[in-house]
């Protein structure tokens, strides 16, 4: 009975657009686990036992969460199905607090990498790389994968990246000029490779090398890097771009909606909810929201 219920549940959810690939495998495993013990209805105790077979707590939480949603679906029509409590906690760990850089911080970091190491192409590479991240909000992986053909008159073409989305990222004329200056040095250096950014090995940059270069610059600048607190990373450049873009959001409900959708598309987020996350993750934005809410509550204009 449970196995049949799983097939029906998955068919309904998939017809609504949900893929549920690994979730489907997990639910079939749970149904088999229950039926092997003679249980044909969702049992909270068995669900917790089955979920507890996973090695890590986060995995247990995900497995139990799948059963909870399945049980709610069945319980609506047959109360013999028990809905377990989420005793293993949240299915997803909370996202770390982003470190937001000031304009001065970014200037100092870019200057630091332009002075780091020997006077080789490496300096220009990382100076341009980090400056590009700061002014476009690109992911590190997206900048690493950029190729010559991705640079167009309309901006950068970001191809098939996270969530298999492609998008066009317009460039300010100053960013385009900086990129052009770098390419004049870079093209003769490794003519056989068409990646925009290359290492001294004449090969595409590696993620770990980018991390090392950024950490070195952070130390030279003297930015706080204390364990247990938000720390500056290369991704902080993307977080900072998103935050500054949100701070320039115009007033008015329709204008805010358009701004959020445009920014979400520009950043390549899976959904606009990913963009709204910054509103609650950054103290400055939360303070702005609180101030406007207080103004509205006291009869003023937000």
Tens digits of per-residue pLDDT, 64-116? 999 999 999 999 999 999 999 999 988 876 677 888 999 999 999 999 999 88
Does 231 reside within a domain?
A: no
Of 176, 198, 221, which residue constitutes the final position of a domain? 221
Does 200 reside within a domain?
A: yes
pLDDT at position 288, please?
74
Average pLDDT over residues 211-219: 95
The answer to whether residues 59 and 113 belong to one domain is no
The answer to whether residues 158 and 58 belong to one domain is no
Q: Does 225 have pLDDT greater than 80?
A: no
| Phi and psi at residue 29, to the nearest 5° | -65, -40
Between β-strands 167-169 and 151-152, what pairing exists: parallel, antiparallel or unpaired?
unpaired
Q: Cα separations (Å) of 257 from 17, 167, 263, 286? A: 24, 20, 10, 18
- Cα angle for residues 296, 300, 302 (degrees, 5° grid): 55
pLDDT at position 207, please?
94
Q: For the chain, give the number of residues.
A: 302
The answer to whether residues 122 and 202 belong to one domain is yes
pTM, entire model: 0.69
Largest CA distance in the chain: 73
Q: Does 286 have pLDDT greater than 80?
A: no
Tens digits of per-residue pLDDT, 228-258? 678 899 999 999 999 888 888 877 667 777 8
Does 226 reside within a domain?
A: no
Does 252 reside within a domain?
A: yes
The answer to whether residues 145 and 205 belong to one domain is yes
Does 30 reside within a domain?
A: yes
The answer to whether residues 109 and 216 belong to one domain is yes
pLDDT at position 61, please?
94
CATH number at residue 217: 1.10.443.10
Q: Does 37 have pLDDT greater than 90?
A: yes
Residue 141 in tokens: 């992986």
| Phi and psi at residue 106, to the nearest 5° | -65, -45
The answer to whether residues 203 and 143 belong to one domain is yes
SS3 category, 23:
helix
Q: Does 52 have pLDDT greater than 90?
A: yes
Domain extent at residue 253? 236-297
Tens digits of per-residue pLDDT, 156-211? 999 877 666 789 999 999 999 999 999 999 999 999 999 999 999 999 999 999 99
The answer to whether residues 216 and 141 belong to one domain is yes
The answer to whether residues 267 and 208 belong to one domain is no
pLDDT at position 130, please?
97
The answer to whether residues 12 and 56 belong to one domain is yes
**Residue 52 exposed, middle or buried by CB count within 10 Å (0-12, 13-18, 19+):** middle
Q: Which residues contact 147 (CB under 8 A, 6 or more apart)?
A: 194, 195, 196
Tens digits of per-residue pLDDT, 139-163? 999 999 999 999 999 999 998 776 6
Q: Does 283 have pLDDT greater than 90?
A: no
Total tally of structural domains belonging to the chain: 3
pLDDT at position 237, please?
96
């Amino acid at each position: 009975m449970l196995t049949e219920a799983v097939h029906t549940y998955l068919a309904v959810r998939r017809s609504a657009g949900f893929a549920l690939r690994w979730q489907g495998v997990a639910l079939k495993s749970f149904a088999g686990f229950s039926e092997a013990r003679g249980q044909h209805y969702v049992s909270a105790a068995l669900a917790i036992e089955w979920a507890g077979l996973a090695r890590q707590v986060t995995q247990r939480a995900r497995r139990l969460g799948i059963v909870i949603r399945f049980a709610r679906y069945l319980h609506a029509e047959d109360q013999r199905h028990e809905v377990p409590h989420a005793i293993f906690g949240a299915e997803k760990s909370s996202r770390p607090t982003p470190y937001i850089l000031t304009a001065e911080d970014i200037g100092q970091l870019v200057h630091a990498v332009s002075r780091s190491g020997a006077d080789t192409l490496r300096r220009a590479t990382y100076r341009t790389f980090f400056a590009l991240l700061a002014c476009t909000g690109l992911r590190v992986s997206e900048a690493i994968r950029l190729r010559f053909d991705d640079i167009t008159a309309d901006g950068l073409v970001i191809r098939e990246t996270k969530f298999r989305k492609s998008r066009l990222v317009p460039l300010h004329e100053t960013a385009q000029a900086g990129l052009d200056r770098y390419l004049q040095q870079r093209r003769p250096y490794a003519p056989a490779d068409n990646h925009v950014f290359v290492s001294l090995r004449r090969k595409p940059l590696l993620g770990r090398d980018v991390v090392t270069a950024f950490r070195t610059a952070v130390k030279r600048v003297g930015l706080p890097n204390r364990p247990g607190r938000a720390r500056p990373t290369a991704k902080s450049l993307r977080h900072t771009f998103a935050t500054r873009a949100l701070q320039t959001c115009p007033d008015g409900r329709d204008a805010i909606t358009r701004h959020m959708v445009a920014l979400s598309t520009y950043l390549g987020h899976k959904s606009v909810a990913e963009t709204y996350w910054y509103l609650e993750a950054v103290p400055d934005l939360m303070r702005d929201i609180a101030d406007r809410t207080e103004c509205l509550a006291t009869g003023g204009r937000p």
